Chains A and B, each alone.
Chain A
Amino acid sequence: MKRILFLAISLFIGSAVMAQDYTALNPDEKNRVMETINSAAANIGTMTCDFSQIKELSLMDDNITSYGKMYFNGGNRLRWEYIKPYHYTFILNGNSVLLISDDKQDKIDIGTNRIFSNIASIMMGSITGKCVQDGKEFRVSIYSSDKAYKIELTPVRKELRQIFSKINLFFDRANSIVNRVELLENTGDRTVILLENITQNKPIDEAVFNTGN
């Protein structure tokens, strides 16, 4: 009896925690949130933050976590740099991408490489919130909780649908800034990216985005 009671209490606590869930917004509320997020995205000139990337591996019921730093400077300049447990840097500047690993550098023209152009547009669109405006690329659903908005993006294009089943963006309600990105893959794995120590509209040294052009 004691065991059943314990189980019932645990289940109740578990469901109470889950109940802190997001509720779907009606069309009016959805438009209002879209406007807020779009105007916050339009005001992002520069952005820097630390990130941790937690990759959930379904096959081994385990995670791998990597850490790094992100720099974004308006339009199409992005530096996504992994520091731990490996060094790997992705720099996007206009149409050119520079990949830097421990022992080599590779330069790629994203105009001719669809995979990298997809990665670049998802990364920039997610962190700035611009993905939300992109009706051609994603079907957008919006949910709300006390502290955050959850934007659920379902890829429309076949190329993206082959990799991701959904991309979830979580915006802090207080400042409409993305602080969590979830990439749900068709293979059952999930990648969670947490953005921390976010600063916006502070000058960034242009050398950070140098791709050697």
Chain B
Amino acid sequence: MKRFLILAISLFANVCLLHSQENFFPKHDGEKKSYSITVKYKAMELQGILVVKQVEQCLRCTLVNQFGIKAFDFEYNIDKKRGKVSNAISFLDKWYIRRTIKRDLKKIFKNMDSLPVRDSAVDLSNLRLTIDYTIKPL
């Protein structure tokens, strides 16, 4: 009985912690939200600010570091489920990096209504390349 109670309590706690949040990203034309983003790859960790704005049926994103220097722009077309990386800073402007960013961000926005939110942050792991993303509203 005691074991059952512990299981029930931990399940309840998990449900409270882990839930999808429909309004995590902008939902309306003109709406803009800012997030802190952490990207971990092997021993490297990058932190920055991700700004997302909905313009008609498109989510426009810019990732900058805290000093304001842009890493790249990303556009996601909600209807067509297509993404495009542009204006990448020179050291990120390699086809394989652009492709990885595009694939991973597309995955996030494609599932934006059902992404699990834990401690008010969204986590995504690219298991093949071992890249971890954490996005948290500012």
Contact = CB atoms under 8 A, between A and B. Distances in A.
B66 A64 contact: no
**Chain B binding surface SS class:** strand
B68 A60 contact: no
A188 B89 CA distance: 11
A114 B27 CA distance: 40
B40 to A, nearest CB: 12
Given A59-B62, A188-B87, A86 B70 contact: no
Interface stretch (B6-14, B45-53, B102-110, B124-132): B45-53
A82 B89 contact: no
Interface in A47-97: 53, 55, 57-60, 62, 64, 66, 82, 85-86, 88, 90
A162 interface: yes
Nearest to A89: B66
Interface in A77-135: 82, 85-86, 88, 90, 101-102, 106, 119, 123
B95 interface: no
A152 interface: no
A66 B62 CA distance: 16
A85 B70 contact: no
A96 to B, nearest CB: 18
A119 B87 contact: no
B32 A82 contact: no
Residue from B53, B61, B62, B68 having most chain A Cβ neighbours under 10 A: B68
Interface in B6-50: 32, 34, 36, 45, 47, 49
- Chain A: number of interface residues, binned into ranges: 20 to 34
A163 B90 contact: yes
A175 interface: no
A141 to B, nearest CB: 23
B30 to A, nearest CB: 10
Contacts of A86: 36, 49, 66, 138
Contacts of A85: 34, 138
Contacts of A88: 47, 66
Contact of B66 (A82, A106, A162, A189): A82
A20 interface: no
B70 A162 contact: no
Interface of A: 53, 55, 57-60, 62, 64, 66, 82, 85-86, 88, 90, 101-102, 106, 119, 123, 162-163, 183, 185-189, 191
Interface of B: 32, 34, 36, 45, 47, 49, 51, 53, 55, 60-62, 64, 66-70, 73, 75, 86-91, 138
Given A57-B62, A64-B49, A189-B87, 15 more contacts: A55-B68, A59-B75, A60-B55, A64-B51, A85-B138, A86-B36, A88-B47, A162-B91, A185-B70, A186-B90, A187-B73, A187-B88, A191-B67, A191-B68, A191-B69
